[in-house]
Amino acid sequence: MIAPVRWEDGGLVLLDQTKLPTEEVERAYTSWPDVADAIRTLVVRGAPAIGVAAAFGVVLAARASRATTHAALLADLEEAIKGLAATRPTAVNLFWALDRMRRVVVADADVPPARLRDRLLDEAQAILSEDLAANRAMGAHGATLVPDGARLLTHCNAGALATAGYGTALGVIRAAHERGKLAMVWVDETRPVMQGSRLTAWELVKEGIPHRLISDVAAGFVMKRGEVDLVVTGADRIAANGDTANKIGTYSVAVLARHHGIPFYVAAPSSTIDPSIPSGDTIVIEERDAAEVRGVAGRQTAPAASPVFNPAFDVTPAALISAIITERGVFRPPSARSPRRGRASPPTATPPAPAGITTAPRTRPSRCARAATCSTGRPSRCPSRSIPPSSRSGSRPISPRWPSTRSPRSRPPIRTRPRRRSISSAWPGSSSSPRASPGSRRTRAARRSTSAPPPPPARSTRPRCTWWPARSRGSIPVSIISVRATSA
Ligand code: MRU
């Protein structure tokens, strides 16, 4: 198994990801400033892996400290925590893990420093093993969304390398492959640091999972050719409303997926959810060195004098995300639709908005906006015809009263009945199936029966499609992002 971060012989061992795919080099770390440097320079990268490495950085700081009192140890650790937190700003797992480590010390002032050092090591080990378990659970949940014979596209590396092992998005890929559901994986190379080609492709080769590497700019073309059935990516931070920060280019892929009616899924552990921010607007986006854009693999490919903008991440609005896969199940943000290939719903088939959520009234365009340039020459065949322009651009209005702003305790989340195939789960709370066309008898009947109470939750051993979890593990109170399903 690929283990990018591990504790061995009193030190931290990292697989140097800057050397992949050509060299497999492991490096040992015995001081927290060196660990901070490894995080900053991408020796270890990927949101969960950064969190695990930082936790062991705190262990190293505790071991290096000569403090004999609780207060002195805490002071030394605060310095290390500050230094480790300053390495990368976007992935919330880093701050989540550091906070968890700090609480071990803060929790009990009566514990002697020697025992606290042991407890810190236990906590870092727990963060590592919980992440591994979360990834396997996520893989199992996510695999239910993968149709048989699927051609899946992924961006960046959300694999074993980016986590304690197994991976988030790549965990879903591994699980789907193990179940024989996957035909192949399209791998975006992921400019400018090439995590897709250097790392994801490396993992897939190691696992013998069929894949094809594409340049980022080819993603739209393979989607247009009908060769992508679903997209799964990882996440660096998920806001309370479901907006998701991930590797630069993820937003573009999500827009392309929506345009082509392809489901776009995000796989991330609960530790990636940041309920303290209501939306993605306030996520700090790391900007990296201009040299990453001015060159490829150390070779200059642009004038040294050219000014560069190099954001390492972007934010995909929740409205473009079909579902978020966590270790606790599959969650469908109310603003997202789950488009089915070639069957994007016209405005009249929009799922009913949850009570309290207002969406702007939409009218079907009387004429396709692209009629003049339509390549099909047959408006009835136009691939964009049935998708309202607001959805295509990802600008579907979401009410500022998204349920993250209301108390989750006011009403418990409603769990939806598990479906035979999660990919075609009806909009939660809706009595109509997404398979039904807007004018079909099933849909009309469903509309007539909107006053009927939602079906009771069914008992099942399959992962349930629910709303956000009532509580997360660790310190982040995910309950504040609980949302309730529409009662239609
Ligand atoms: O800059 P990186 O390589 O740390 O960015 C990694 C990503 O964006 C991943 O997709 C994300 O961290 C999820 S990893 C499970």
CATH of the domain at 181: 3.40.50.10470
Cα–chain-centroid distance for residue 139? 13
Residues 62 and 80: their CA atoms lie apart, in Å, by: 9
Q: Are residues 131 and 151 in the same domain?
A: no
Separation of alpha carbons 11 and 418, rounded Å: 45
Ligand 1 atom 5: residue of nearest CA: 46
Q: Is residue 163 classed exposed, middle or buried when 0-12, 13-18 and 19+ CB atoms within 10 A define those classes?
A: buried
Nearest to 32 by CA among 129, 127, 120: 120
The whole domain housing 17 covers 5-135
Residue 57 lies inside a defined structural domain of this protein: yes
pLDDT digits (tens, 9 = 90+) for 393-423: 333 322 222 233 233 333 333 233 333 333 2
pLDDT in tens, 36-63: 999 999 999 999 999 999 999 999 999 9
Catalytic residue among 236, 243, 274, 314: 236
Atom of ligand 1 minimally distant from the CA of 91: 12
Instruction: State residue 484's pLDDT score.
Output: 23
Same domain, 55 and 184: no
**pLDDT recorded at residue 333:** 66
Atom 15 of ligand 1, residue of closest alpha carbon: 158
pLDDT the model gives residue 297: 83
Same domain, residue pair 106 and 148: no
Same-domain pairing of 130 and 160: no
314 catalytic per annotation: no
Strand blocks (E) in 206-318: 211-214, 230-233, 237-239, 244-247, 264-267, 273-274, 295-296, 299-300, 313-316
Which pLDDT score is estimated for 382?
36
Tens of pLDDT, residue by residue over 428-484, are 222 223 332 333 333 333 333 333 333 433 333 333 333 454 443 333 322 222 222
Q: pLDDT tens across 282-309, in order?
A: 999 999 999 999 999 889 999 999 999 9
93 lines ligand 1 (CB under 6 A): no
Report whether pLDDT(314) > 80: yes
If asked whether residues 107 and 155 sit together in one domain, one would say no
- Classify 361 in phi/psi space as left (phi over 0), alpha (psi -120 to 50) or beta: beta
Q: Is the pLDDT of residue 353 over 50?
A: no
Q: Are residues 115 and 143 in the same domain?
A: no
The last residue of a domain, from among 135, 168, 195: 135
Q: Is 478 in the pocket of ligand 1 (CB under 6 A)?
A: no
Say yes or no: 250 and 113 in one domain. no
Higher pLDDT, 353 or 168: 168
For the whole model, what pTM was predicted? 0.73
Q: Which of 41, 43, 88, 157 to mutate to test the pocket of ligand 1 (most atoms within 8 A of CB)?
A: 157
Q: Give the Å distance between the CA of 161 and the centre of ligand 1.
A: 10
Tracing tokens 């479901």 back to the chain, one arrives at 242
Asked which of 135, 170, 197 is the last residue of a domain, the reply is 135
Same domain for 253 and 152?
A: yes
- 195 and 334 fall within a common domain: yes
Statement to judge: residues 106 and 160 lie in one domain: no
Predicted confidence band at 254 (pLDDT cuts at 50, 70, 90)? very high
Does ligand 1 come within 6 angstroms of the Cβ of 156?
yes
Is the domain of 146 the same as that of 123? no
Please check whether residue 260 lies inside any domain of the structure. Answer: yes
Residue 26 pLDDT grade (very low, low, confident, very high; cuts 50, 70, 90): very high
- State yes or no: pLDDT of 237 exceeds 90: yes
Total domain count, the chain: 2
pLDDT category at 364 given cuts 50, 70, 90 is very low
